[in-house]
Amino acid sequence: MMKKGVCPDRKPATATLSREERFMVHSSISQRTSQRQQPAAPLIVLRGVTKTYRQGSEEVKALQNVDLDIADGEFLAVTGKSGCGKSTLLHVIGGLESVAAGHILFQGQDLSRFREEQLTRYRRDQVGIVFQSFNLMPLLTLGENVALPQILRGTPSQEALRLAETWLDRVNLGHRRDHKPHQVSGGEMQRAAVARALINQPALLLADEPTGNLDSTHAHQVLQLFAELQRQERLTVIMVTHALEAAQYADRIVSMQDGRLLP
């Protein structure tokens, strides 16, 4: 099993800057952190996050007063039994659902204060998500599936498809570009889903039970890929899983019970 420390000179997501500006920001940050040996600043901060669902007359407290800091460049695993609030936690961090109380900060900015178009941009540009059931489009090839987030962002399709090819190579699926999802294994589908989640170069990869439908060999490949991408692509990974073996690949494991984070 792999265990890694958080990369101290992990770069922040500065997707709106030019390449040169990004380089300047990053090199000054890595100088600062390497001089002082500080841990990376948090990318995500949750304070008092509470989320309730109403089911008929009953109120379900899916998240109760959750406080959590996730460092830039960290690989965090969140574990706990089914129904404890793991998926809800990912959804609120990914800006897919709003919270009833509390704050979620991304790079110091409060998601609840984002206007609709800022939230759309946050979801599209800063967050990549992979699911247990892969959620690939069945009629599209793997190449087309991976290209889709770029196309939705307005990139011309030829360019998007070329970029998708480099991402498929990155996850060792170059040879499966023209296959449809049903023509490849579950592990290959999940690796394609990871490439699709990352093609827009988000700061954050959210994974909801990503190995739930995989055998142990394919699960290992996907989890190793997360750890590798985290190190090489300046990525912060939050993976929720009820499987303790999967959680071992992360830098840090936190547990939830009944909507609360256990101390």
Ligand X SMILES: Nc1ncnc2c1ncn2[C@@H]1O[C@H](COP(=O)(O)OP(=O)(O)O)[C@@H](O)[C@H]1O
> Considering the complex, what minimum distance in angstroms separates the CB of residue 76 from Mg ion?
16
Is 88 a residue that touches ligand X (CB under 6 A)?
A: yes
Q: Which does 83 bind (CB under 5 to 8 A by kind): ligand X, Mg ion, none?
A: ligand X
Query: Nearer Cβ to Mg ion, position 144 or 208?
Result: 208
Specify whether the CB–CB gap between 199 and 157 falls below 8 A. no
Is 86 a residue that touches ligand X (CB under 6 A)?
A: yes
Is 87 a residue that touches Mg ion (CB under 5 A)?
A: yes
Query: Nearer Cβ to Mg ion, position 89 or 142?
Result: 89
Residue closest to Mg ion, measured at CB: 87
Contact segment (CB under 6 A) with ligand X among 84-92, 104-112, 150-158, 243-251 equals 84-92
| CA gap 41, 73 in Å, rounded | 9
Is 88 a residue that touches Mg ion (CB under 5 A)?
A: no
* 187 Cβ contact partners less than 8 Å away, ≥ 6 residues apart: 214, 215, 217, 218, 219, 221, 222
Q: Which of 12, 42, 73, 85 binds ligand X (CB under 6 A)?
A: 85
> Considering the complex, what minimum distance in angstroms separates the CB of residue 131 from ligand X?
11
> Considering the complex, what minimum distance in angstroms separates the CB of residue 58 from ligand X?
9
Is 62 a residue that touches ligand X (CB under 6 A)?
A: yes
Q: Which of 33, 41, 65, 83 binds ligand X (CB under 6 A)?
A: 83
Letters for 163-202 (x = contact with ligand X by CB under 6 A, - = none) are ----------------------------------------
Helix (H), strand (E), coil (C) string for the chain = CCCCCCCCCCCCCCCCCCHHHHHHHHHHHHHHHHHHCCCCCEEEEEEEEEEEEEECCEEEEEEEEEEEEEECCCEEEEECCCCCCHHHHHHHHCCCCCCCEEEEEECCEEHHHCCHHHHHHHHHHHEEEEECCCCCCCCCCHHHHHHHHHHHCCCCHHHHHHHHHHHHHHCCCHHHCCCCHHHCCHHHHHHHHHHHHHCCCCCEEEEECCCCCCCHHHHHHHHHHHHHHHHHCCCEEEEEECCHHHHCCCCEEEEEECCEECC
Is 82 a residue that touches ligand X (CB under 6 A)?
A: yes
Is 53 a residue that touches ligand X (CB under 6 A)?
A: yes
Is 87 a residue that touches ligand X (CB under 6 A)?
A: yes
> Considering the complex, what minimum distance in angstroms separates the CB of residue 240 from Mg ion?
7
Q: Which residues bind Mg ion (CB under 5 A)?
A: 87
Q: Which residues bind ligand X (CB under 6 A)?
A: 53, 55, 60, 62, 80, 82-88
